[in-house]
Amino acid sequence: MAGKRAALKAIDWLAFAERTRSDAIGAKLSSLPEKPVTIDWSFYKTNVARAGMVAEFESKFSALTIPEPKDTATAAINTQEAEANKAAVAYVEASKARIGQYEKELEKFQNMIPFDQMTIDDLNDTFPETKLDKEKHPYWPHKPIAEL
């Protein structure tokens, strides 16, 4: 019995550590500035002893371009969102129509004669699906066997 309680209270420490690690990385990334700090190349040209090295680094750095990934998913996501919004609006409209039908049924039930005071004719008038067709099915149970 105690083993079951311990199993229920077990904590997935690996998942917990991974979550805190990803939270720490996200916090670190959000703390960085939008634009990187500009490099003071003149400072390095005056302080680096080897001639041409800073100029080479500067030319390579200025030639470096990091391509940004192309946005290929936004259009698909927007169309999915529009379809989902249309489906939600249609569902709400259908729900309102069903609510109207259910309110009519509720009103019918609230205004009908109580069951203990009903006759068979009142029952058949209120609920036509309960009426037995004795001409079509003259023998008991007065319904096809498949409908029972």
Could you read off the pLDDT of 18-44 as tens digits, one per residue?
778 888 888 888 888 888 888 899 998
List, as one string, the DSSP characters of 44-69: HHHH-SSTTHHHHHHHHHHH---PPP
Q: Assess whether pLDDT exceeds 60 at residue 2.
A: no
SS3 content of the chain, % helix, strand, coil (to 5): 65, 0, 35
Average pLDDT value for the chain: 86
Q: Assess whether pLDDT exceeds 70 at residue 130.
A: yes
Listed range (46-50, 90-94, 117-121, 133-137) with the worst mean pLDDT: 133-137
Q: Which two tokens stand for residue 86?
A: 């249309």
Q: Which two tokens stand for residue 115?
A: 């069951």
pTM attached to this predicted model: 0.46
Q: What pLDDT is attached to residue 133?
A: 78
Q: Which two tokens stand for residue 140?
A: 């008991």
Q: Which two tokens stand for residue 139?
A: 């023998």
Q: Decide which of 13 and 124 is more confident.
A: 124
What confidence category does residue 87 fall into, taking pLDDT thresholds of 50, 70 and 90? very high
